[in-house]
């Protein structure tokens, strides 16, 4: 895991099992916003992006413009794995946070852009929650980002750059994340239907003349674990 200054900015695309090329590239650029940067007291313009540094590490980076016009950029990434969707979500997570610490935030946000966090990496939730200023709101922001997926046009544009620059991303990760999100949306739809049926039964029970009708309303079991409801509502809400 290396944070390195970038020398040139180009573009990116995908091909399976291609040797990593040592070229600097930008796949997509996020929204610019004013944030505190490192220990500086004055906010600066920060634009996150997905890209690769000039030693072949793929991940996320920052364009930083200070009030005096000074511009700098950095990229953090890995040789493997080369996850496009995780990097894109990390970029979106950086858009949500108010302060960026160069040696920390990029790595942390990339790790937190995966729904599964293991062992040592769990501490990054606390660290970034503290930087965010509200741990629960940060968890909600992260859940929102994890439920996001690039639009078809955004994905095509990213893969076009990946192809043009002969870069490598893991195609399986793109399909895996698309399927996971589709499954989550389907479960949520079923949960909403069950809630509507339950409300109907409760309303009928409130009316003594409709008690027999209420007793005939069956509540289906949409998923094996009802506790998933709050998770998916937070994930997709």
Q: Given pLDDT bands bounded at 50, 70 and 90, which one contains residue 209?
A: low
Quick check: pTM over 0.85? Answer: no
Give me the pLDDT at residue 58, please.
94
Contact 25, 167 (CB under 8 A): yes
- Among 176, 167, 177, CA closest to 79: 167
Residues 24/8, Cβ–Cβ less than 8 Å: yes
pLDDT of 161 strictly over 50: yes
Residue 24's SS3 state is coil
DSSP state of 120: G
pLDDT tier, 55 (very low <50, low <70, confident <90, very high otherwise): confident
**Which is more confidently placed, 12 or 184?**
184
Over the stretch 162-192, which tens digit does the pLDDT of each residue have?
A: 999 888 899 899 999 888 877 666 655 655 5
pLDDT band for position 234 (cuts 50, 70, 90): low
| Tokens describing residue 156 | 């095509």
CA 32 to chain CA centroid, nearest Å: 17
Contact 60, 109 (CB under 8 A): yes
Distance of CA 159 to the CA centre of its chain: 18
């Amino acid at each position: 895991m290396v944070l390195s200054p970038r020398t040139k900015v180009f573009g990116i695309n995908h091909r399976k099992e291609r040797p990593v090329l040592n070229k600097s590239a930008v796949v997509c650029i996020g929204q610019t916003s004013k944030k505190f940067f490192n220990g500086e007291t004055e906010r600066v313009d920060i634009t996150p992006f997905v890209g690769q540094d000039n030693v072949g590490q793929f991940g996320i980076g920052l364009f930083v413009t200070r009030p005096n016009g000074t511009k700098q950029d950095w990229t953090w990434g890995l040789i493997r794995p080369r996850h496009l969707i995780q990097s894109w979500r990390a970029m979106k997570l950086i858009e949500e946070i108010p302060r960026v610490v160069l040696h920390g935030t990029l790595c942390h946000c990339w790790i937190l852009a995966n729904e599964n966090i293991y062992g040592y990496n769990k501490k990054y939730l606390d660290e970034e929650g503290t930087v965010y200023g509200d741990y629960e709101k940060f968890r909600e922001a992260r859940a929102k980002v994890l439920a996001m997926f690039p639009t078809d046009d955004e994905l095509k544009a990213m893969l076009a750059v990946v192809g043009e620059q002969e870069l490598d991303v893991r195609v399986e990760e793109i399909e895996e994340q698309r399927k996971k999100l589709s499954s989550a949306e389907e479960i949520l739809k079923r949960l909403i239907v069950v809630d509507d049926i339950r409300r109907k039964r409760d309303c009928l029970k409130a009316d003594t003349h409709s008690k027999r009708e209420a007793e005939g309303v069956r509540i289906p079991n949409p998923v094996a674990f009802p506790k998933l409801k709050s998770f998916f509502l937070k994930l997709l809400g």
